[in-house]
Amino acid sequence: MEKRKVKFSLVYRDMWQSSGKYLPRVDQLVKVAPHIVEMGCFARVETNGGGFEQINLLFGENPNKAVREWTKPFREAGIQTHMLDRSLNGLRMSPVPADVRRLMYKVKKAQGTDITRPFCGLNDPRNILDSIKYAKEAGMIAQAALSLTYSKVHTVESFVQLADTLIKGGADEICLKDMAGIARPVWLGKIVRGIKELHPDVPLQYHSHSGPGFAMASILEVCRAGVEYIDVAMEPLSWGTGHIDLLAVQTMLDDAGFDVPKINMDAYMKVRSLTQSFIDDFLGYYIDIKNRYMNSLLIGPGLPGGMMGSLMADLESNLDSINKWKVKNNQPELNQDELLVKLFNEVEYIWPMVGYPPLVTPYSQYVKNLAMMNVMQLEKGKERWSMIADDIWDMLMGKGGRLPGKLAPEILALAKQNGKVEFTENPQSLYPDALDKFRKEMTEKRWDLGPDDEELFELAMHPEQYRQYKSGAAKKAFEEDLIKRKAEGGGLFSKPAAAPVAAAPAAAAAMPSTMNINVNGENYRVTVSYGDASAEVSADAPVAQVKAPAAPVGEVREIHAPLEGKFYLTKSSGEVPVKVGDVIKEGDLIGYIEAMKTYNAIRADKAGKVVSIAKANGEDVEEDEVLVIVG
């Protein structure tokens, strides 16, 4: 009897994203690519997709150049390249206009990406079917993904039916995207057999994360059921919150009687060594050591491996925020493990209440962020649900697609209280075409549209990050952060805690670092240094922060940040920012704080005339820092 073939796809991009925050630079990718080819065991390599290109922009690199150069050696070797896309959300966390989505596939095909893997975080076929259509128009292979999760509303029948709908809608292939690795092996086998009974000739690819511990058994089960392709990682970034290791999978399947490719171990060791060198260069500073371990606690909350890298990074600032409050209020501090367990428990508690969205980007982040906000509020003696970001409300109200389950009465009551109304139409209708607007901006700024309009696409897909890339601000911020991490230690290179420094005198600790002063009838917000330095206006303060119309000092009132993150006056080009001189009422929107990849609307808790805007657009803010001053 002829052995059945199983082929491998290396998820080199996702290996990094599932472990930490950043990915290798293009010069590093180009250096490792020939040795990946030389390994001789990969039919496919994942080269780009959701999150990847934002990361390029964040450290000041052109993502279009990176994708073109990274895909080239694989195409020349006859290895297919594939990308991950988020359907309605394109390559970002929020919905994308249809014309930008269409351009994405044309650009990616021109850059050398063969296959796109569109998924919808809610498994709403309307979003995926549009992506299938756009991808095929551009000449790409459309591999539609089922976002697998395990609950009473996510049944074998529901996933088989979804696959059937997508294949009949034009999907060339199906990916079983087990993003948290919590799909039970036998259950998975039933889904694969169900799809193969209906569509025996449609190729299936299985993608899983190793974190909870099911993945090896799952891979064996799905291969026996008929899957043709398996996503794998390799040392030193396999296992943990990442993916199953190539060597283990190849050995297991070979022993089970499958026809699997042989591995050139000399080339394997070169790729392994280069990957380790990238970790040592800078990427290890952004990888939390806990992400290198498997954790069966993940079975409960079902959080995906792809977000665990950023989750552990976020957890540091969340823990710091909670503990600052606890110290102020003479309460015992939490450690990271305690906070992590509280977070996992809260995710399990609220997930059914918010309609069982599959825990995959962006909805895994939304559920996790909502749970984290609840934990932070509860730890500070406040109530659940007191901070719900606009993006999360959009999910709850159907603006990203249909939720698989029903909202709890408590959430429905909150929605009514906040004037939120359910949306049942096609989500794409909410987001009108926008390319003309971005083309106009590029013309005015004399920016090159790029070959195949790829630079236009990048601006339209990631407006804020692209502008910061073009200005050089992104590269500067990244380099400063890396210098700091290298000096202090971070990620895999974390240093043991230093001996405590002698406490400053109580009087000095109580002194303000900023204050409002009135000089010749005009208000100034100043940064104050103690010791030999004298008070001076902050050198990098925006004009609106430094100088503002006069207001009686006694009447100045401050609006504070309810959480830490980056402060933005607007989150889209259609909004009008608050400015000095505006009169605002309680409840008026004054801006947003971007925290944990969501924009949290900040509303005035005081009315009056805006005297000063204390933070620049995009500036980091701490909880309780002043955002706006009214008089």
Q: How far apart are CA 192 and CA 206, in angstroms?
A: 10
- Cα angle 300, 284, 372 (rounded to 5 degrees) comes to 35
End-to-end CA distance of the chain: 84
Residue 306 tokens read as 């792809």
What per-residue string of b and e applies to 520-554 under the rule 16 or more CB within 10 Å gives b?
eeebbbbbeeeeeeeeeeeeebeebbbbbeebeee
Q: If residue 476 lies in a helix (H) or strand (E), which one and from where to where?
A: helix 473-488
Residue 312: its pLDDT value, please?
A: 63
Give 10-residue mean pLDDT values along the chain (631 residues).
Answer: 92 90 94 98 94 88 96 97 95 92 98 97 95 98 95 93 98 95 95 98 96 94 98 95 95 98 98 97 89 76 59 72 85 86 88 89 84 87 85 91 93 92 94 96 97 97 94 94 89 62 38 42 41 34 38 66 83 79 88 77 87 86 85 81
**Neighbour-count burial of 401, counting CB atoms closer than 10 A to its CB (0-12 exposed, 13-18 middle, 19+ buried):** buried
What per-residue string of b and e applies to 601-612 under the rule 16 or more CB within 10 Å gives b?
bbebeeebebbb
Contact 270, 289 (CB under 8 A): no
Q: How far apart are CA 54 and CA 611, in angstroms?
A: 35
Amino acid in position 102: R
Residue 495: its pLDDT value, please?
A: 62
Nearest to 303, CA basis, from 459, 417, 181: 181
Residue 311: its pLDDT value, please?
A: 65
Q: What are phi and psi of 174, to 5 degrees?
A: -125, 135
Q: Is 113 helix (H, G, I), strand (E, B) or coil?
A: coil
- Ordered by start, the domain boundaries in the chain are 300-430, 506-630
Contact 208, 178 (CB under 8 A): yes
170 phi-psi bin (left φ>0, alpha ψ -120 to 50, beta other) = left
Q: Under CATH, to which class is 506-630 assigned?
A: mainly beta
Nearest to 545, CA basis, from 566, 529, 524: 524
**Which pTM was predicted?**
0.78
Residue 563: its pLDDT value, please?
A: 77
Residue 383: its pLDDT value, please?
A: 86
